[in-house]
Amino acid sequence: VTTSAPRTARARARAELTAEIKAVARRHVATNGAADLSLRAVARDLGMVSSAVYRYFPSRDDLLTALIVDAYNAVGEAAETAEAAVRHTDLLRRWLAAARAVRSWAQDNPQEYALIFGSPIPGYQAPQDTVDPATRIPLLLVTIIGEAVAPPDDLVLPRPVGRDLRRLRDQVAPSMSEPRLARAVMAWTHLIGSISFELFGHLVGSIDDYSAWFDFQMKELGRGLGLTSTSR
Amino acid sequence: VTTSAPRTARARARAELTAEIKAVARRHVATNGAADLSLRAVARDLGMVSSAVYRYFPSRDDLLTALIVDAYNAVGEAAETAEAAVRHTDLLRRWLAAARAVRSWAQDNPQEYALIFGSPIPGYQAPQDTVDPATRIPLLLVTIIGEAVAPPDDLVLPRPVGRDLRRLRDQVAPSMSEPRLARAVMAWTHLIGSISFELFGHLVGSIDDYSAWFDFQMKELGRGLGLTSTSR
DNA sequence: TGTACATCAGTGAACGCGCGTTCACTGATGTAC
DNA sequence: TGTACATCAGTGAACGCGCGTTCACTGATGTAC
């Protein structure tokens, strides 16, 4: 979302400082968590007075929003990049690459992951700006899954589920069958559920080799999605 | 975990006040979230001076631990109670009842749910006391799944996954096959992943009838686990 | 190219608030004889 | 059953800290003519 280089020195300085504030805030979130992100502490780190930050972000919540948008974009881009590097016809590998990229990003940025996929921050209301970046990964997954030529699915959808999925299908994947989309949403749910379980410590003592466990699960999900190499 | 009625008035008062403090703290968590649970605010609500709380909980973190243990036990008991009310031979219904009970409890106590299944609280280290209550639900699920007489599973486990699952199996379900246990852990992961997705707002705009979607998923998982009525 | 005015960034002080934890203390409850 | 001492619950003050946000201000940068 980089705009072209701003003309005036003032505008350039503004863009740079905005980025610096976000960078420092991101560092604070990484070490202390989002709950006690503090404008004053960020300002202190930057050697400026706390009130000066208000020239850049009208409130603490706006700074948080910026971080959330950045986090969604970062993990989305990580997944897209990893996926794009795989041979286009190998759908299972593309799905795997995306899933693994999400997990890697989460491990490298656990607090940012918690910021977007963990508990909502009490008192914070996510504004509209966060919606689009949040859809990058699910859209990527749907794209991959949509390219599979799979036998008709035997899943039977209850009426209200079918209704919801038809609407969703029309929005994001016009040519996909509802059962297939159902599996896609479940896979997306499982992907994040699995990473959260690992990161939040719910499998400590049960699973040691979590990389192997994660890969196993993702391959299993991929199989269920009918993802294979489409090359003949 | 109720001990028999304490003898002395002092001990009785102590037990009561401990419970009251927890109750008020739980109420605070329910409205403000765990991150800014404050001993002083709890004391204020109880009409006592903040330092008095230290007679009951040596620190804020110990109070948090008590709340976490209580939350695990509450959701565990909810699941156990719901499951016990179903005809014993109907494994699919027992699984469904347990899953729905977890979801209901989560919806009624979203902040307590976030406390145990959401982001870890920065700076807080869960002590050993939380481990046992945390296993109630997974153990219940394993019990149900273990009663199914299902055809041999076609899942192929990579070696490290098999190793982990064998160890886990020996601890919690000696007679279960590894592939079946793998499916059980995945179902457990998906159950919580799905509730978190709903509660944390990740399917807003995609799924409207979340009850139907949840039931559908759980039934699908139950099918995959080979759960049916074992009555002939 | 130079000047007058408008815009903007950053300062420093202040408001009003909250927090966890410690400590010396009073007075009530419990226990041993 | 009564008394002496030990234990414990709760008080009130204090320590030392942090926070978000507002506001009047100075001085630098940008813009229109």
pLDDT digits (tens, 9 = 90+) for A71-111: 999 999 999 999 999 999 999 999 999 999 999 999 999 99
What pLDDT was estimated at residue A1? 36
Confidence of residue A4 (pLDDT cuts 50, 70, 90): low
Chain B closest-CA separation from residue A61 CA (Å) = 16
pLDDT digits (tens, 9 = 90+) for B168-192: 999 999 999 999 999 999 999 999 9
Contact yes or no for A226/A150 (Cβ under 8 A): yes
> Rounded to 5 degrees, what are φ and ψ at B90?
-90, 85
CA distances from A18 to A13, A24, A133, A140, A192 (A): 8, 10, 19, 29, 31
Residues in chain A: 232
Who among A201, A205, A216 is closest to B157 (CB)?
A216
**Statement: residue A232 has pLDDT above 70:** no
User: Is A124's Cβ below 8 Å from some Cβ in B?
Assistant: no
What pLDDT was estimated at residue B2? 43
pLDDT digits (tens, 9 = 90+) for B1-23: 344 566 788 999 999 999 999 99
- Give helix A136-146 / helix A60-84 axis angle, nearest 10°: 20
Q: Which residue has the tokens 């930057």?
A: A46
What pLDDT was estimated at residue B5? 63
Identify the residue with better confidence: B124 or B45: B45
Integer Cα distance of A26 and A20 in angstroms:
10
Range name among A124-133, A147-156, B82-91 with the lowest pLDDT average: A147-156
Please tell me the number of Cα atoms within 13 Å of A48 on its side-chain side. 16
Q: Which nucleotide is nearest to A43 (CA to C1')?
A: C10
User: Is B139's Cβ below 8 Å from some Cβ in A?
Assistant: no
What pLDDT was estimated at residue A6? 64
Residues of B in contact with A220 (CB under 8 A): 155, 186
What pLDDT was estimated at residue A35? 87
> Rounded to 5 degrees, what are φ and ψ at A90?
-90, 85
CA distances from B198 to A166, B7, B73, B124, B185 (A): 19, 47, 22, 26, 20
Who among B131, B157, B190 is closest to A193 (CB)?
B190
What pLDDT was estimated at residue B211? 98
Stated as kind and residue range, the H or E segment containing B145 is: helix B136-146
Q: Is the CB of B48 under 7 A from strand D?
A: yes
What pLDDT was estimated at residue A153? 82
AA letter at B95: W
Contact yes or no for A101/A83 (Cβ under 8 A): yes
pTM of the model: 0.94
Sign of the four-CA dihedral A58, A61, A67, A68: negative
Structure tokens at A18: 């905005």
**Statement: residue B119 has pLDDT above 80:** yes
Strand C contact nucleotides, protein CB < 7 Å: 8-14, 18-24, 29-31
- Comparing CA positions, the residue from A35, A51, A31 lying closest to residue A43 is A51
Mark out the alpha helices in B54-122 (DSSP H runs): 60-84, 91-108, 110-117
Who among A122, A126, A202 is closest to B33 (CB)?
A122
Chain A closest-CA separation from residue B137 CA (Å) = 12
User: Is A38's Cβ below 8 Å from some Cβ in B?
Assistant: no
What pLDDT was estimated at residue A121? 86
Confidence of residue B230 (pLDDT cuts 50, 70, 90): low
Percent of chain B with pLDDT over 70: 96
Give me the A residues in range 33-62 that sit within 7 A (CB) of strand C.
Answer: 48-52, 55-56
Identify the residue with better confidence: A153 or A5: A153
Q: Which nucleotide is nearest to A55 (CA to C1')?
A: C9
What pLDDT was estimated at residue B121? 87
> Rounded to 5 degrees, what are φ and ψ at A113?
-60, -45
Question: Taking residues A143-163, what's their average pLDDT?
Answer: 92
pLDDT digits (tens, 9 = 90+) for B33-87: 898 899 999 999 999 999 999 999 999 999 999 999 999 999 999 999 999 999 9
Q: Which residues, at least 6 apart from B19, have a Cβ–Cβ distance to it below 8 Å?
A: none
Residues of B in contact with A201 (CB under 8 A): 120, 126
